[in-house]
Structure 1
Amino acid sequence: MKNARSLYHGHRFPAAVIGCAVRWYFRFQLSLRDIEELLFERGVIVSYETIRRWADKFGAGFAHRVKAARHKPGSTWYLDEMFVTLSGEPYLLWRAVDQRSVELDILLQKRRDKAAAKRFCKRVLAACPEAPRKIVTDQLRSYPTAKAQIPELINVKHVFVKASARVKNRAENSHQPTRERERRMRGFRDPKRTQAFLSSFGPIRQHFALKRHLLRASLYRKQLGERFAMWHRFTELSQNPPGF
């Protein structure tokens, strides 16, 4: 029986270097050139374009493994949209999170109509094992009309709130990391690349972004260590070498 081919087959850099570079890119507010410099400090000479290709090739796969290993999504979903500008054109970034603020899925679309809402809801349902018991949205009319045409959501309780209401802060706050990254990258440009990046950015960032203010230092370090151990399994790494 043949052994399974390594995830990093054909790459001249060790798996630990590639996995670390991808994690840095999606976890922190770092540019590709920042990561190039950090790797150079550790004796690894690699161009930022190579790091970009690593992120493009491995980011989606790592994010999928992270999402597959998470706890079952909560029973309350918060749906919201935010405007982003790509090369001077306005787009809507649709996002769904549960009551624990875990990002369920995102979708970049040009419109804000019933078809766009229906497309997004179906995407979130496909990414989750069960339909929610309640969804919370703003007062956008596209949501109820789309919900009425999706069998899994017809009997789901639908709560409408004003954009400024406290109950919707969970959805509103979930946009903040994207806004911060958008400023760091000096704006998004290509729709396909933006969708691919943000689909990996959310799960990988959240995997390590523990709520430190709610945890004792010892418990925080323990849980973070567990997250790193999981990451090593996701990326097929046994242990990072010194300096990584």
Structure 2
Amino acid sequence: MLSWRHFRGEIILSCVRWYCKEGISYRDLAEMMLERGLHVDHTTLYRWVQHYAPEMEKRLRWYWKPSMGYSWRVDETYVKVKGEWTYLYRAVDKQGHTIDFYLSPTRNTRAAKRFLGKALKSMKPWAHPGAINTDKAPAYHAAITELKAEGKRPPDTVHRQVKYLNNIIEADGKLKRLINPVRGFKSMKTAYAAIKGFELMRMFKKGQMDIWKSGQGLTGEIRLIERQFGIYSA
């Protein structure tokens, strides 16, 4: 049961949605809310995002997790945390729909294996991909080989190291445009919390959950999120 921190739940969820969808600063969001007659300090908005963005992603996971893998495109991008570059591992299908993501302080075999293992574990064995497409980084080959040896991947899984096959994941540049205005996170924990919200709202934008919105567009998006928290809009 959530206390909603002295504000109505739909207001909190709306603020978290706006921040994660548009990538605006907390101060800009506070000003937007003030124009609507609600005084919320930017630090309060920050706490809301940190608490509720991961919770939104968790509660909606059943809706966005793909039921079939077929072919995965895997790559990573850079995210600055406390002045240092970290690595956001991402996997999408051939339509560009998000399969999974993982933030790591390192870019090596261990990180690649942890990410792929996380993504595979979250899906039923029959939904695992027949092929995983990556760039030519040796870490991916080593990670996939180890997962096969441990029985966590079928031995006939194809690993393609063809750069152009990952164009679809590199073209999903909106995620970087959401992260950039943040101008660096203070810790891995706060970065990952916000990124979970960014990724979730990108899934809505890409139409990944259209089937659950019942043709209601933005209204359907709001209702789907609110109902995961026990809020039932008219």
TM exceeding 0.5: yes
Separation in 2 of the partners of 1:138 and 1:69?
29
From 85, 106, 110, give the equivalent of 2:101. 106
Distance 1:97 1:14 in 2: 35
Query: In 1, Cα distance between the equivalents of 2:103 and 2:202?
Result: 19
Counterpart residue number, 2:141? 144
Map of 1:167-206 to 2, 5 A cutoff?
167-174=165-172, 176-206=173-203
Conservation of the 8 A alpha-carbon contact between 2:79 and 2:87: yes
Structure 1 gaps of 5+ residues are: 212-219
- Name the counterpart of 1:161: 162
Residue equivalent to 2:8:
14
Question: Which residue number in structure 2 is paired with residue 217 of structure 1?
Answer: none
TM-score, normalising length from structure 2?
Answer: 0.84
1:121 deviation in Å? 0.9
Cα distance change on mapping 1:111 and 1:232 into 2, 3 Å: closer
**Counterpart Cα distance in 2 of 1:10 and 1:103:** 29
Distance (Å, rounded) in 2 between the aligned partners of 1:59 and 1:182: 14
* Match of residue 117 from structure 1: 112
Query: What does residue 229 of structure 2 align with?
Result: 235
- Structure 2 runs not aligned, ≥5 long: 209-213
Secondary structure of 1:238 counterpart: coil
Q: For the structure 1 residues 182 and 58, does the alpha-carbon distance in structure 2 shift closer, same or farther, using more than 3 Å as the test?
A: closer
Letter in 2 for 1:233: R
Deviations 1:37-72 (A, max 9, x none): 121111111111111111111111111122211342
1:26 aligns with 2:20: yes
Task: Specify whether residues 200 and 127 from structure 1 end up closer, same or farther in structure 2 by C-alpha distance, changes over 3 A only.
Answer: farther
8 Å Cα contact 2:175/2:202 also seen in 1: no
8 Å CA contact 2:21–2:178 kept in 1: the answer is no
Q: Percent identity?
A: 27
Query: 1:58 corresponds to which residue?
Result: 52
Aligned residue pairs total 224
TM-score (norm 1): 0.81
